[in-house]
Structure 1
């Protein structure tokens, strides 16, 4: 399975059981990195449009846990309105302002992994690019089926939407 797509300044590519997403942000690398490493900033844009994120726990360090909840607050999103989506990340490697590596799972309110949902190993590289920042994300799954499950859930559309929200925050920060 290999598929290349470009939408809304974001390109995606699937190679085997890895999803690659690239996007260029019109901001210096250190500012983009802070949007991922500072809890208030991260919560202000993480999740698709119409969703708000609450950080239940945020430990930005190797073996640190980020436990969060995204809630749909947009009544226009029909059946999604009021829905919660819990997640838990465990940071593996952090090299400011260049790289973040973490595992990401769907969780419950207590941070327990939800059975039947894929686990991802995510590597984010922040690359200086002509005064801007190219974010290169690879999400590795245990199987092609697990990757397809997340694609079918709308991960690409969700990432595009949340990166639009990140664009708005970066404009405010400059």
Structure 2
């Protein structure tokens, strides 16, 4: 995994030994997402997935100690096997946007874009994340979290890698 946090957005690149169509499905189907999305060690429950522009992915995350948080994607752009653009936020059980339970300075919405490319059955994804409609304080806080987010996405992408390996066997 490589990352570039020099800019105002978080950029993470990761390679997977899997065909692009399988990696894209892992990002776009509830049956796949529930097995790898989210922080390492958390159990994901999918409440709903409507994978289309202006559709959503609504899910809960349960920590090993029993704590529960809700999250939501609102899809903006989808190019099959090429790109997914979405806004990510914390939510309540009904899907309403809420502040992160652990900080009032995390932006309400994060704009994410993941691109997919394949060479010799190796799929490379590049994730770009930045705050959406954030205050200066939220932007600054977000930038200060790059190292933590790189570690978090590293764990999430480790789970994706393991899941893809299981799917290929």
- Per the normalisation by structure 2, the TM-score is 0.86
Matches within 5 A, 1:150-169: 150-151=145-146, 154-169=148-163
Q: 2:85 aligns with which of 74, 80, 101?
A: 101
Runs of 5+ consecutive residues of structure 1 not aligned to the other structure: 1-9, 74-80
CA contact (8 A) 2:83 2:115 kept: yes
Structure 2: tracts of 5 or more residues without a match: none
Whether the 8 Å contact between 1:46 and 1:52 is mirrored in structure 2 is: no
1:94-173 → structure 2 map (5 Å cutoff): 94-115=78-99, 116=104, 117-118=106-107, 119-141=109-131, 142=134, 143=136, 144-148=139-143, 150-151=145-146, 154-173=148-167
> Matches of residues 70-109 of structure 1 in structure 2 within 5 Å?
70-73=61-64, 81-109=65-93
CA contact (8 A) 1:123 1:138 kept: yes
User: Could you tell me how far 1:68 is from its partner in structure 2?
Assistant: 0.8
Q: Mean alpha-carbon deviation: is it higher for 17-26 or for 105-114?
A: 105-114
Residues paired across the two proteins, number: 157
- Structure 1 stretch displaced more, 120-129 or 10-19: 10-19
Asked whether the equivalents of residues 122 and 137 of structure 1 are also in contact (C-alpha less than 8 Å), the reply is yes
**SS of 1:102's equivalent?**
strand
Query: What is the aligned partner in structure 1 of residue 32 from structure 2?
Result: 41
RMSD of aligned alpha carbons:
1.6
- SS of the residue 1:43 aligns to: helix
